[in-house]
């Protein structure tokens, strides 16, 4: 049976700096929130009518805190659904609504995290994706096809990088366990202290 998941609410977190105006952006919190969304294969519909869902202070601080996150099966059943922010009444929050009626607020933005720029292999992945496209036609069609390949290859690369990080993390955890067990039996040597 197909599972349809909809997670909605005030997550008290934003995904990128553009989702805050005149207020502090916490990059670490945004990265953790984006990782949560990616790790759970959740998707977000674009929001129309308003850009932000909360007004604070004297009306000069804006944030997008409310959102709908859905499972891929929900998305596939209603690919044209949209989220709309409704007007505020007596609250500092805008209510939002998910409509499965056909609406189009434009393409879903391509996500690229600045933290990827410092990783080894990124340039090669992008270059290979671009060079791997043999598309002929109008320039906009060729460009769109290249972007699609870049997105697909980057997704596979990110999964591979996470797997490598998980392996290194497990190896380090294993070393720590061994050292802790050794500590319980005897005093650590200078070499062991610096591992």
pTM score of the predicted model:
0.50
The mean pLDDT of 13-37, rounded to a whole number, is: 90
For residues 160-170, one letter each, b for 16 or more C-beta atoms within 10 angstroms of the residue's C-beta and e for the rest, the string is ebeeeeeeeee
Do 120 and 95 share a structural domain? Answer: no
Question: Mind listing the pLDDT tens digit for each residue in 34-89?
Answer: 999 999 989 988 887 778 888 886 667 888 888 999 999 998 888 888 888 888 77
| pLDDT number for residue 84 | 86
pLDDT beyond 70 at 27 = yes
* Full domain range(s) for residue 66: 1-105
Bridge-based pairing of strands 66-70 and 43-44 is antiparallel
Which of 86, 105, 124 is at the close of a domain? Answer: 105
pLDDT beyond 60 at 18 = yes
Do 173 and 92 share a structural domain? Answer: no
Higher pLDDT, 40 or 106: 40
Do 77 and 5 share a structural domain? Answer: yes
Question: Mind listing the pLDDT tens digit for each residue in 115-170?
Answer: 888 888 999 999 998 888 887 778 787 888 888 888 889 989 988 988 988 999 89
Which of 64, 83, 105 is at the close of a domain? Answer: 105
Do 64 and 143 share a structural domain? Answer: no
Number of domains within the chain: 2
pLDDT beyond 90 at 32 = yes
Do 99 and 131 share a structural domain? Answer: no
Do 98 and 47 share a structural domain? Answer: yes
The CATH number of whichever domain residue 54 belongs to comes to 3.60.10.10
Do 115 and 93 share a structural domain? Answer: no
Gap between the Cα atoms of 128 and 122, Å rounded: 10
The mean pLDDT of 11-32, rounded to a whole number, is: 89
Do 14 and 101 share a structural domain? Answer: yes
| pLDDT number for residue 172 | 87
Do 122 and 94 share a structural domain? Answer: no
The mean pLDDT of 89-108, rounded to a whole number, is: 74
| pLDDT number for residue 35 | 92
Do 98 and 123 share a structural domain? Answer: no
Do 146 and 96 share a structural domain? Answer: no
- Helix or strand (DSSP H, E) at 139: helix 139-185
């Amino acid at each position: 049976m197909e599972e349809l998941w909809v997670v909605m609410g005030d997550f008290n977190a934003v995904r990128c700096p553009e989702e805050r105006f005149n207020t502090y952006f916490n990059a670490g919190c945004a990265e953790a929130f984006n990782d949560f969304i990616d790790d759970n294969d959740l998707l977000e519909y674009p929001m129309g009518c308003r850009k932000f869902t909360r007004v604070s202070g004297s009306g000069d601080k804006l944030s997008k805190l409310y959102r709908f996150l859905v499972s891929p099966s929900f998305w596939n059943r209603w690919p044209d659904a949209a989220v709309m922010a409704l007007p505020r009444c007596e609250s500092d929050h805008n209510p939002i609504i998910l409509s499965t009626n056909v609406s189009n607020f434009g393409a879903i933005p391509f996500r690229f995290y600045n933290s990827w720029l410092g990783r080894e292999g990124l340039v090669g992945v992008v270059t290979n994706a671009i060079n791997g496209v043999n598309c002929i036609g109008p320039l906009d069609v060729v460009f769109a096809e290249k972007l699609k390949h870049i997105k697909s290859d980057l997704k596979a690369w990110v999964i591979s990088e996470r797997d490598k990080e998980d392996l290194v993390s497990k190896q380090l955890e294993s070393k720590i366990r061994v050292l802790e067990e050794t500590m319980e039996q005897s005093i650590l040597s200078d070499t062991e202290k610096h591992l």
